[in-house]
Structure 1
Amino acid sequence: MKTKYYLLILIVFQFACAQEDKSITTPSEINYKIETVVEGINNPWGMVFLPDGSLLITEKSGKLYQYKNNEKIEIAHNLSVYNRGQGGLLDVQLHPNYSENGWVYLSYASTEGDEEGGNTAIARGKLSGNKLTSVEVLYKATPNTTKGQHFGSRIAFDDEGYLYFSAGERGERDVNPQDITKDGGKIYRLHDDGRIPTDNPFVNIPNAKKAIYSYGHRNPQGMLKHYQTGKIWVHEHGPQGGDEINVIKKGANFGWPIITYGENYNGTAITDITKKEGMEQPLYYWVPSIAPSGMTFVTSDVYPDWKGSLMVGSLKFGYLERLVLKDNKVVKREKLVEGEGRIRNVIQGPDGYLYVGVESKGVVKILPE
């Protein structure tokens, strides 16, 4: 009887260890080198390639650049950027049919509104020479606040052409993320022209923000469409511990701050529960926090041993993390691009190579050897 009992304990222990294994491998098992592509950008927040092979880059301070023919060109714009703390000119993405319509989408902290300060906004415009023209503001979160934290904000399109974007809870964790009548701590879904889809989950709820698609988020700074399933994935900053990867579901509550795997920065508890009925569990969470920003899947043949991996930038530790997934579970972690600086963003270019935005440096390229 004792033998069976100890065997059961051993099995439970082994299972728990497997579930909680957060170890990370370094250095990488693949040889590569780093090549600097664009220099002199202090905070390359967003990056996207244009069909002509040039690269659009947002600088958090408010500048928009086009890197073309080995030259960095500033693109003039009239967006009311609120450059404070974590806010500024943030993500940039192209319309899925950019070659036909020319729309460029930008997320940014905006000063528009009656209150002092700023909040997250989404706008679109068209490149005309060295200017952004035909600018339209599609969504502006309210109210403005002078707080400098948790603006989000990333942009992605799904296979049906809907526009998704994230907005952080602006440091108001007990006010915004669980209240669907308030902006902040949400993933939003719009038509490409800013109209509210009639099948959004809260369109018929009085006083609700009709653009909300999911809620209970903290500060999502990574978002993409899964290259196989078409689902929208995000990652978000936890407090001290509890950064998360989440697969977005219509109308879902992702729990912040009622449930979390993190704690306050002073070590005190935010909550004593990590799970609750009616609230989603993350696909993966980091303890300790890595402060994730930007992410992309490797789908090209340039890195055959990395194909299918999820790449996530770490602001806190200054490396690019490779996550190996099997059946939507992280089975391996690996550190890449160490020693370059805080990793703000990572994208896969049309040439199949990975391009990494590094704070206080610019954009670098990973070349396999």
Structure 2
Amino acid sequence: MTGSSLRFLVPLSFLLLLSLGPLSSAAEDGSGPTLQGRRQKRQQFKEAPEFYNSPDCPTVDSDEILCSPAAVHVAMTLDTQYLRGSMAAILSILQHSACPENVAFHFVSSTSTSTSNSTLLRSTIVASFPYLKFKVYPFDDSSVARLISSSIRSALDCPLNYARIYLANIIPPCVRRVVYLDSDLVLVDDIAKLSATPLGGSTILAAPEYCNANFTAYFTPTFWSNPSLSSTFSGRKRCYFNTGVMVIDLAGWRTGDYTTKIEEWMELQKRMRIYELGSLPPFLLVFAGRIVSVDHRWNQHGLGGDNFWGLCRDLHPGPVSLLHWSGKGKPWVRLDANRPCPLDALWSPYDLLQTPFSLDS
């Protein structure tokens, strides 16, 4: 299936959900802690189909795949709150890959017992994807927690949201390139195409870039009124890029010690308020105007609406290789609340959650 062909059939379970009565407003936005806690405890997932390589795929030793340069390496975070989204993302990657057996997954999970349970997460992955080549890496979020400043949405303040800054330290040095993906997206194209994005030279990061965005809004008046700070972007394109879809040269990241450079901006943020939007601004401070731009087909973003209301949105014009529910509204929350947006029907076929309405083939 190509990225531009989105011929999905809305499953019966989705239609049944539409016919159910409404839930409470707390359930609609996922803010009800009791409902959310019950949902996390009772989540059970179906086993996904097994996918096989095409005849022309290179041979990768399954025992060496987590370090193999011939593999496509994918990094994602894992936690109980977004596990349902992660499972859908994994399925979509495998389903649309020409060489699914050559995809290696590197999952990062918090060591904090309040946000994740590594044993539960690992067993869930194994049960639904018994053939998957993956490793779960523990992330001690206590060190980054001290650097996090409150932002416009509490979900953005989760320490695990900052794990992408530490991938070069977490993933073994044998992995030189990785595709980092958020948990609120699905692919409808071969991830190998994204992974093969040319970097070259001193550029160590590729991502969908947006130069028509209001770049000024990503930083506070305090930042822009200080010449020593605002001059950071002198001679650079002031372009926003999405950190939920990135191709990263981990070897180059390690050499340039970019983790330290991002942390330095976060430390400054603790002393003076220079931005409001979670982990994105420090990435922009270090990398904006210095990345390889990825075709926008790899980030049909904003499907979760804005950071305040999470209202429904349409697709952007153009071809589609990746659908990204960035923003407040997540498709699984809206489906459970019987308040889906039309485009949530494109996420639903990848939902592996075992429900009373599931029809196993």
Bin the TM-score by the shorter chain.
0.3 to 0.5
* Larger relative helix fraction: 2
Of structures 1 and 2, the one with the larger relative CO (CA 8 A, separation 6+) is 2
Q: Structure 2 length as normaliser, TM-score?
A: 0.34
Q: Structure 1 length as normaliser, TM-score?
A: 0.33
